[in-house]
Structure formats: C-alpha cells, structure tokens
Amino acid sequence: MIEEKINNLIKQGIESARDDGKITEFEISEILVEHPAQENFGDYSCAIAMKFAKIAKTNPMEIAKIIVDYLPKNNDFIKKIEIAKPGFINFFVSEQFLVEEVNKVIIQGHKYGSSDIGKNKTVIIDYSSPNIAKSFGIGHLRSTIIGQAIYNIYKFLGWKCIGDNYLGDWGTQFGKLIYQIKKDKILLKDLTIEKLEKLYVKFHKNAEKNLEIEQGARDWFKKLEQGDKEAKKIWQICVNISLKEFEKIYKLLDVKIDYCFAESFYLKMSREIIDEAIDKKLVVKSEGALIIKYPKNELPVAMLLKSDSATTYFARNLAQAKYRLEKYNPDLIVYEVGVDQTLFLKQLFSAVELFGWAKKEKFVHIAHGLVRWKDKKFSTRKGDTIHLEQVLNQAIVKAKKIIKNKNLSEKEKQKIAETVGIGAVKYNDLSQYHNIDIVFDWDKILNLKGNSCPYIQYTFTRCQSVLEKAKFRKAKKTKIIEFNQEENAILRTIYKFPEIIEKAGESFSPNLICNFVFDLSQKYNAFYDKHKIIKADTIEQKEFRIALTFATSQIIKNSLNLLGISTLKKM
Ligand code: ARG
C-alpha cells in the first residue's frame, strides 16, 4: 500500500539523518502521514519535523529540509516532495502510480482492496442476537447490518471470521410468557408471534398493578430451568414460532450467520462456571444470591446466580466466553450490541480476566445507538413496537417509486425495488458512525441525489451502461495520458480504497467505506456530466476513460459487497 511505502520512506530518511548525526530525535509513531485537506498540499503530508523541532527547540523548516535530503530518491511512486510552512513535508504521488492503481483494479477485480494482514488470525463476531418471543427489534436490525459488514470487512482483510448469532432463547421472559399463557388458558396450537408479543405486553401491564404476578413468572422460569415437561414444551413452541419469523427477516436482508449457539446451549456450562467461580473464590453470597465483587469496586457487582438458584444472563455470557476461547482460540471477539449493554459487557470482559481465561483486551464492544423515528424510542415492553418486516416491506414499496428505467417488466421492477429498498435501509445505518443515534428519514434514505444507497447504485448502473455501449468485454490495462481535472479527481480517489478498507477494519467503521464510495460516485458523475467517453477525441482517451469507468464500477461493487448490498445492471 502506498501509505505504507511513504511511511517507510520517511522512516528510512529519519534513520539515515540520525546516523549521520544531523538530527537527534527519532521517536516516531506508526503512521507518519495523512491526507491533507487541501489538494495543493499534496496527496500525503507529514508533520514529524514540527514535533522534532519542538522537542529539540530548533526550526521545523530546517528539520524538514534535513529529512527530505535524506529520503531515498529512487522510486517511481512519488512525483515531487515539497516543504511547506511551518514544517510540513508534502508528497505528491506520480501519474504512473495513479494509472498503475487503475490497472490493479482491472487485474484484481473483485479482490481489489483485499489483503492478508489478518492471515492466521481469528475473529468471532457476535451479532444480530434477537430474543425469542419478542419481536426482532430495530436494534437487532442495526446489529445484524453492522455485524455483517464488520464480518465482511475482516474476511476481506484475510481474517478467519466466525459469525455467531447469540439467540436469546432463555431467561425470565419465558416465565412471564408461560405464566400468561396458562392464566389466559391459551391453546398452544393457536400461538402466533403476534399473540406472544401481546401476552408479553399484557403481563407487564398487569404486573405494574399486582406484584404477585412477578412471583408467578419466577416460579415458571424456575420450573423451566429444572426441566419441567410442560414448561419445556411451551418454551419449544415459542422458540419455533420466533425462529420462523426471524428466518423471514434474514431472508429479506439476505443475511446468513455462520452459527447460532443460543443462550440455552450454555445452560449446563453456566452451572459449571459457577462452581469454578466458587473454587476460585471469585464470588460471595449476598442475600441468597451469588455475586462477583470487582477488585477495588471498580465496577458494580455482577450476579451469577439468583436467590432462587436460577442462572443469570451474566452467567450464560461467561460460559459463552469460555466456550469460544477454548473452541476457537480467537485473537479477537467482537460483540455488536446496543450501547445500553455497555456496562454489562465491561463487567463481563473484566470477569473473564478475573477467571484467568483471557485478557479483556481481546474483547471489543461495538455499541450501536438508538434509531429515532419522530422522536420515539422503540420498545417492546411498552407495546409501541415497530415491526421490522413492515419497515423492510415499506422500503421496497417506496423504492419502487424511484425506479427510473421505463422499459422494465413488473417482475423486474419488483426485483430491483427489493435490492434498492433493502440496500437503502442498510446503507442508511452503515453510513453513520455506529455509536450515535440514527434517524430514520425515508426522504433521506431514498434520495437519489444525496449520500444514499440508490445514488450509489444508480452510479453503478450508469457505469454499466457506458461499458455496455462501449461493447466492453474484458478490461485492458491502460496507459498514462494527460488527464483533465475530473479524471484527476477520480484517480486520486481510487488509490485510497485499500487504505480505507484497512482503516474501516481497524476502527470497526463501515461508515468510512460509505463516505469513500459516495465520494467516488460524486467524482465519477462530475466527470460523466462533463466529458464524452465513447465519443472521446482520441482512441487513447476513449480507452482511458473506459478503464476509469470500469475501475469506478468495480470499486463501487467491492464497496457495496462489503456493506452487504447488491448492485444492479439497471434501475
Ligand atoms: N439477546 C441480547 C439482546 O437482545 C443481545 C445479545 C448480545 N450478545 C451477547 N453475547 N450478549 O439484548
């Protein structure tokens, strides 16, 4: 990667200057360069001279000059190096490099941007993880979309990825449901997902007025934990009904998650963990319950076993962590879970360390914020649930209205609307930094002129139609010609793609890829609006522009692939 090459160049320069006694400071960071905001400061800029000068109390311009004098000169990727006040070293990449990068896209195709930096490394990504007998909430949608994108990015970077859907199929909610089912004498064969949701809401409404009800629910959950036949039967029916519902959503989203080790899978193990905790003297008794107290009280206590000897979500999560560590020996475990579970996960990761299974640095919480829609927060408990399937179907209906192509059959239109609608919902989520609350605004999501998925998909179809008109078969390597301003802008974006992917992986930020692909699309459209491609003045120019078109469309495709979004030939 070019960034790395320039970095190494600077490092070598600094080392040689130091060996010659020209500079004394040499403590340098990993990454020494940045893309300056303004074009006239080059493609990469380095601020190290200012840092050195501050420590040595000398003139940064002089230090910059020394470093530049010592930079190795024999390379073909730098065109010129400039020193700018107050001591920046600015690098301008060469035309040859820019064109070679287009050729790389042509040769590598769908692999362009991938790397093997993750070779021999394993990451587990815990995502989606909806709860049985509750609706698949908008939060689970965020987790599914972001988790899948992170999975795709890590895979592209050469990691071995293990996707795990930690289905919430255990917990006190089942006690509540079974209690209500029994109380209302509901026939099991009549149960549906809507009924389950209503029963859950009804339970909570009644429980506000009558505290005994909670005890009834606890009793049923206890029975379930002890393997009571009737409780187990009702539980299994609830699981089956929900799974069917979730499958529909995964199908709409076109998501497949490698594994689904649900909470109940860890039930027995969680009892063993509790024994281990007792042996290791990690827990104390408190009002009949077993809790972990953290050293120096740096975190609130965590409960492993309730006073009625039911296991907790925490205990099951611990069992899960241990199981994963033993089974996969991962280098990294990523939890894509809502921001409201931040404290819980902190407690969990610290507990893993107390048990001595792994360092907590192996664990990462990617916390997504809420989705807001007309100032309402979605919640199952209060009963104002937004049905995800409805939202997704609405996206498809709305997408159908923005399809431009008039020569499509109804069937084609429907297929396109599905790709555009679902893509738009995904992109809306991914294009915003995951940690913030996002707003669901249909006009923005489907805006063909703004930073939206339809805009990018449309740009892709535009490239495709150019390639089709050019009777384009297989891309040929292209040569340097003199390029105009718009071509220059595209070239100076393309080469950044591999760098963006690495950064998106490092910082778990698919939004970097969205920003990038939007930027590239805008630059391509500006070029398309101003210049002839197939009817360009010369053959060389035509071939060059077709190569640019091909590279743009390939990079859009690679980007959207990583985001879990499909492209279209027409729309
Ligand atoms: N089922 C949980 C919920 O909906 C999320 C589980 C996340 N994963 C985990 N290992 N805790 O709140």
- For the stretch 471-496, pLDDT in tens is 887 777 888 888 999 999 999 999 99
Can you give the pLDDT at residue 406? 86
Give, using CA atoms, the residue closest to atom 9 of ligand 1: 166
Can you give the pLDDT at residue 418? 96
82 class by beta-carbon count within 10 Å (0-12 exposed, 13-18 middle, 19+ buried): middle
The segments of the chain whose pLDDT lies below 70 read: 25-26, 374-386
Residue 101 beta carbon below 6 angstroms from any ligand 1 atom: no
Q: How many CA atoms lie within 13 A of 522 on its CB side?
A: 11
Can you give the pLDDT at residue 386? 66
Residues 517 and 555: beta-carbon distance below 8 Å: yes
Return d(Cα 258, Cα 244) in angstroms, integer: 17
Residue 129 beta carbon below 6 angstroms from any ligand 1 atom: yes
Q: How many CA atoms lie within 13 A of 77 on its CB side?
A: 16
Residue 165 beta carbon below 6 angstroms from any ligand 1 atom: no
391 class by beta-carbon count within 10 Å (0-12 exposed, 13-18 middle, 19+ buried): middle
Residue 366 C-alpha to ligand 1 middle, in angstroms?
12
Residue 311 beta carbon below 6 angstroms from any ligand 1 atom: no
Q: Rounded to a whole number, what is the distance in angstroms from the first to the last CA of the chain?
A: 35
Residues 283 and 277: beta-carbon distance below 8 Å: yes
Can you give the pLDDT at residue 141? 94
Return d(Cα 53, Cα 313) in angstroms, integer: 55
Residues 388 and 138: beta-carbon distance below 8 Å: yes
Residue 129 C-alpha to ligand 1 middle, in angstroms?
5
Can you give the pLDDT at residue 381? 43
Nearest to 338 by CA among 139, 165, 129: 139
**pTM confidence score:** 0.94
Can you give the pLDDT at residue 161? 98
Task: Please enumerate in sequence order all residues whose Cβ is within 8 A of that of 459, keeping only pairs 6 or more positions apart, or say none.
Answer: 521, 524, 525, 552, 556
Can you give the pLDDT at residue 379? 43
Residue 166 beta carbon below 6 angstroms from any ligand 1 atom: yes
- The 3-state DSSP class for residue 126 equals strand
Task: Please enumerate in sequence order all residues whose Cβ is within 8 A of that of 568, keeping only pairs 6 or more positions apart, or say none.
Answer: 416, 419, 420, 457, 460, 461
Can you give the pLDDT at residue 224? 94
Return d(Cα 549, Cα 544) in angstroms, integer: 9
The one-character DSSP state at 311 is: B
